[in-house]
């Protein structure tokens, strides 16, 4: 009886074009968007993605820094707007707001035939963007202002510059620390510079080697931060920090060797700063 009533309820709502969200985990709606590099929104829409036009790789050349972004659709009559968002390898959006694509026949943005269902736009890449894989996400907005992610495509970018390793300097760390009756907190800071741009820095870290034999710590590497957290005062200023916590029990006393280093997105390592700290 319950099943029959539920069936009638579903039919009743379907008749009047109302989308049921109740029990959404138990009902399967078939989407009509095409998957490319990643899962996309599969809610019901009246069009299909037929084409995603973007080069697989791009090398910056002075005077030629523009890529053309294109999205092909069939039956785009109900679409109000097509936009794209470009993200770097560390998931940062390159532009302040979504880039709008057009199907107006404007060849200067890479659209050659008006009204053919292929939406286009150009986007400049900077030589200061770090090397790596960028992600382009495509969105459609319908006449009701509902926004759908309809495709995702990747682009491998080479900024055309020689990859120079980062440099670490100005380590701020104590020479001694005392185990107390409560947890002892040590703040470490390190300046990091990358000639290819600070966005080229992939990670900053240190490795700890335990007395008396100098065995590496099982927690290596310990990551340092420049995002305003974990003891970092100002995000994005090139000064990386971390708070090291020494519990009241369980810490081996003696002289520890800490080795500080940075790595860029081209996997090149910086110089190493070695610091000895005596835990008493």
Residue 4: inside a domain: no
The whole domain housing 233 covers 167-279
Asked whether residue 3 is assigned to any structural domain, the reply reads no
User: pTM, whole model, 2 decimals?
Assistant: 0.59
Do residue 34 and residue 144 come from a single domain?
yes
- Regarding predicted confidence, which is higher, 219 or 32? 219
User: Is residue 5 situated within a structural domain?
Assistant: no
Is the same domain home to 235 and 259? yes
What does the pLDDT look like over 35-63, one tens digit per residue? 455 546 645 567 788 889 887 888 888 77
Structural domain includes residue 1: no
Q: Are residues 68 and 136 in the same domain?
A: yes
CA distance 43 to 38: 15
Same domain, yes or no: 180 and 261 = yes
| Residues 172 and 154 placed together within one structural domain of the fold | no
Which of 132, 158, 184 is the endpoint of a domain?
Answer: 158
**pLDDT exceeds 60 at position 27:** no
Q: What's the domain count of the chain?
A: 2
Q: Which whole number is the average pLDDT over 159-183?
A: 92
* pLDDT recorded at residue 160: 81
Rounded to an integer, the average pLDDT of 172-198 is: 94
Q: Residue 21: what pLDDT?
A: 32
Boundary (domain end) residue, out of 158, 191, 226: 158
Domain check: are 171 and 151 in the same one? Answer: no
> Does residue 17 lie in a domain region?
yes
Is there a single domain that holds both residue 154 and residue 182? no
Residue 244 lies in a domain: yes
Strand (E) positions, the chain?
48-53, 57-59, 66-74, 79-87, 99-101, 118-124, 132-142, 147-158, 167-172, 176-177, 184-193, 201-210, 215-216, 222-224, 239-246, 254-264, 273-279
| Domain's final residue, options 101, 131, 158 | 158
Do residues 125 and 213 share a domain?
Answer: no
CA–CA gap between residue 185 and residue 42 (Å, rounded):
49
Task: Give residue-wise pLDDT tens across range 193-240.
Answer: 998 888 889 999 999 999 999 999 999 999 999 999 999 999 999 999
Residue 108 lies in a domain: yes
Is 125 part of any domain? Answer: yes
Q: How far is CA 95 from CA 83, 119, 243, 279, in A?
A: 12, 19, 33, 47
Beta strand 273-279 with 57-59 is unpaired
- Torsion-angle region of residue 160: left (phi > 0), alpha (psi -120 to 50) or beta? left
- Residue 34, pLDDT > 50, answer no
Same domain, 247 and 176: yes
CATH of the domain at 267: 2.60.40.1930
Q: Report d(CA 20, CA 10) in Å as an integer.
A: 8
Q: Are residues 210 and 106 in the same domain?
A: no
Whether residue 137 is found in the same domain as residue 250: no
Please state, in angstroms and rounded to a whole number, the distance separating the CA atoms of residues 49 and 109. Answer: 20
């Amino acid at each position: 009886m319950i099943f029959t009533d539920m069936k009638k309820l579903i039919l009743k709502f379907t008749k009047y074009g109302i989308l049921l969200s109740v029990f959404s985990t138990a009902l399967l709606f078939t989407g009509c968007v095409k998957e490319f590099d990643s899962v996309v929104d599969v809610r019901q829409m009246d069009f299909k993605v037929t084409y995603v036009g973007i080069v697989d790789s791009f090398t910056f050349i002075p005077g030629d820094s523009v890529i053309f972004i294109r999205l092909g659709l069939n039956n785009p009559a109900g679409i109000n707007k097509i936009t794209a968002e470009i993200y770097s390898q560390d998931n940062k959006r390159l532009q302040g707001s979504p880039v709008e694509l057009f199907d107006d026949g404007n060849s200067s943005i890479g659209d050659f035939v008006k009204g053919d269902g292929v939406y286009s736009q150009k986007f400049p890449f900077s030589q200061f963007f770090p090397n790596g894989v960028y992600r382009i996400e495509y969105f459609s907005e319908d006449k009701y202002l509902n926004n759908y992610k309809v495709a995702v495509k990747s682009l491998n970018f080479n900024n055309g510059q020689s990859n120079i390793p980062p440099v670490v300097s100005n380590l701020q760390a104590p020479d001694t620390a005392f185990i107390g009756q409560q947890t002892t907190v040590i703040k470490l800071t390190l300046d990091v510079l990358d000639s290819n741009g600070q966005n080229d820095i992939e990670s900053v870290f240190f490795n700890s080697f335990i007395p008396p034999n100098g065995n590496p710590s099982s927690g290596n590497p310990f990551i340092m931060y420049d995002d305003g957290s974990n003891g970092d005062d100002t995000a994005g200023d090139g000064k990386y920090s971390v708070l090291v916590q020494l519990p009241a029990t369980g810490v081996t006393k003696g002289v520890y060797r800490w080795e500080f280093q940075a790595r860029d997105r081209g996997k090149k390592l910086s110089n190493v700063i070695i610091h000895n700290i005596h835990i008493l």
